[in-house]
Amino acid sequence: MSNKYRLIFKLAWLNVWRRKARTLLVVLMIGVSMSVMLGIQGLYDGMTNNMIDNTLRSDSGEVSIYAPSHRLHQSLKYHIQDTPDIIQKLSKVQQIRAISQRVKVTGLLSTARKSSMAKLIGIDKIEEQKFGDFEKFIIDGSWNTQKNYALIGKKLAKTMKLSVGSRVVFSSQNIEGDLTSISLRIKGIVQTTNPAIDDMALFVSLPQAQEFAGLHLGDSTQIALRIDPKANLAQIKEKIVTLIPHKDIYSWLELYPALEQMQEMMKVFNGISFFIVMLVVLIGIMGVMLVSILERLREFGILLAIGQPYKNMRLQVIIEALILGLGGYIIGAILGGIVLLTMQSYGLDLSAFSDGLEEFGMASTLYATIKSSYFSTTLIAIIIASLLSVILPIRRLKKLNPIEVIEGG
């Protein structure tokens, strides 16, 4: 750095701290605003990611396979008969990291006092644990795969006024069209924040569901796949379509378009909060710089009169604005990082609003996500806001008449 620029930077630094209280106030304002914005971004993204993750783990995976017409008619008539062969083919695809086969039967769940629509879901304990760490969804009781034992979704248990140990009867038609019933004892309650599961699901062992539905041991109604997050989902889906023709294959985006819409909505919310904070930064720095220049008009006039180039004073003002902006960024990054780490580790407990949150498929404790892009994007935006904030002050400086200022001083 040449002596000239070193002097300009030194003057800028000294002028920034000429009014320490004012400078600290602006820097703190930027820092606090930024930390709040980072916290909101992390919380929004964490909430959305958690909903998507729970849905993928508890139900669809990244890709689901059905027999043709099954999703349209929801009938056992349209089931997958060659499940073992399909699983064998899929297991050779490197990007597929877990496979789960299921049998789903829609019917009526009854007790002596109440009844409700429900869905019997046959699952394999080992497959589901590998597929989505299913045991973490159990909030009461335990996972027992013995015959006539079941897990039930939390919302369905609440609707039916059931608890661990309660006995229920599930009735439905089997594949032959005959009405059949099964008596089950509740051994555990499941909460996934996926309304399709929590509101209707009754989990039993896969062989018992196959027997109840009148299917063979190799039959299923759904094959769900977990895909490596680094893989291109669209390309993997096309590969599966080629590998397994004559089946209906859907990505989670097609099965749960509402989740994709929510993801986009959260991006809009984050964009709005980001814009508001950057506007606050711009106005805050601009106000300080304008007042600072007005206070130093005589000083600038004298410098111009003795031959100081205007571009040097312009650079000094820009550096002052950047010092304010970057100072606020450093404080905001530290505070925001602490906020994000705290919410990532301990979450934000909203148990008081758990009933309302569950209606929208949200957990009562929200955890934040931390992305490096939060900090890099904010840094760029603050630099831009700092540069934009000096446009008016510099224009005021450019119009300065040294003689009038000195005579008026």
Q: What's residue 225's pLDDT?
A: 96
Q: What's residue 109's pLDDT?
A: 96
292/298 Cα distance (integer angstroms): 12
Q: What residues are paired with 202 via a beta bridge?
A: 120, 152
- Residue holding tokens 């909203």? 350
What percent of the chain shows pLDDT beyond 90? Answer: 48
289/283 Cα distance (integer angstroms): 10
Confidence label for 208 from pLDDT (cuts 50, 70 and 90):
very high
For residue 266, the SS3 value is helix
How far is the CA of 328 from the CAs of 14, 24, 163, 314, 364, in angstroms?
17, 9, 53, 22, 33
Q: Which is nearest to 212 in space by CA: 200, 199, 224, 221?
A: 221
Asked whether the beta carbons of 65 and 191 are under 8 A apart, the reply is no
This model's pTM is above 0.85: no
Q: What residues are paired with 183 via a beta bridge?
A: 169
pLDDT tens string 40-49: 889 888 888 8
For residue 340, the SS3 value is helix
pLDDT tens string 318-374: 898 899 999 999 999 999 999 999 999 888 877 766 666 666 666 667 888 898 988
pLDDT tens string 227-279: 998 899 999 999 999 999 889 999 999 998 888 888 888 888 888 888 888 88
Which of the pair, 287 or 166, is modelled with greater confidence? 166
pLDDT tens string 364-402: 678 888 989 889 989 998 998 888 888 888 887 777 666
Checking 314-318 for CB contacts under 8 A at 24+ apart, the result is 314/394, 314/397, 314/398, 315/5, 315/8, 316/8, 316/11, 316/12, 316/15, 317/12, 317/289, 317/293, 317/390, 317/393, 317/394, 317/397, 318/387, 318/390, 318/394
pLDDT tens string 88-109: 999 999 999 999 999 999 999 9
211/144 Cα distance (integer angstroms): 18
Quote the tokens at residue 270.
């984050």
pLDDT tens string 170-203: 999 999 989 999 999 999 999 988 888 999 999 9
Asked whether the beta carbons of 56 and 100 are under 8 A apart, the reply is no
- Say yes or no to pLDDT of 407 above 70: no
Q: Which is nearest to 141 in space by CA: 203, 50, 200, 207?
A: 203
Q: What's residue 358's pLDDT?
A: 65
pLDDT tens string 129-159: 999 999 999 999 998 878 899 999 999 999 9
Q: What's residue 303's pLDDT?
A: 74
Asked whether the beta carbons of 282 and 388 are under 8 A apart, the reply is yes
Asked whether the beta carbons of 364 and 357 are under 8 A apart, the reply is yes
How far is the CA of 22 from the CAs of 26, 28, 193, 204, 294, in angstroms?
6, 10, 48, 66, 15
Q: What's residue 405's pLDDT?
A: 56
38/388 Cα distance (integer angstroms): 22
Q: Work out the burial of residue 329: count CB atoms within 10 Å of its CB; fewer than 13 is exposed, 13-18 middle, 19 or more buried.
A: buried
Q: What's residue 289's pLDDT?
A: 83
Confidence label for 22 from pLDDT (cuts 50, 70 and 90):
confident
DSSP state of 165: T
In sequence order, which ranges of 161-309 are alpha helices (DSSP H)? 195-198, 206-213, 233-243, 252-255, 257-295, 297-305
For CA atoms 190, 196, 199, 205, the dihedral sign is: negative
Quote the tokens at residue 157.
């248990």
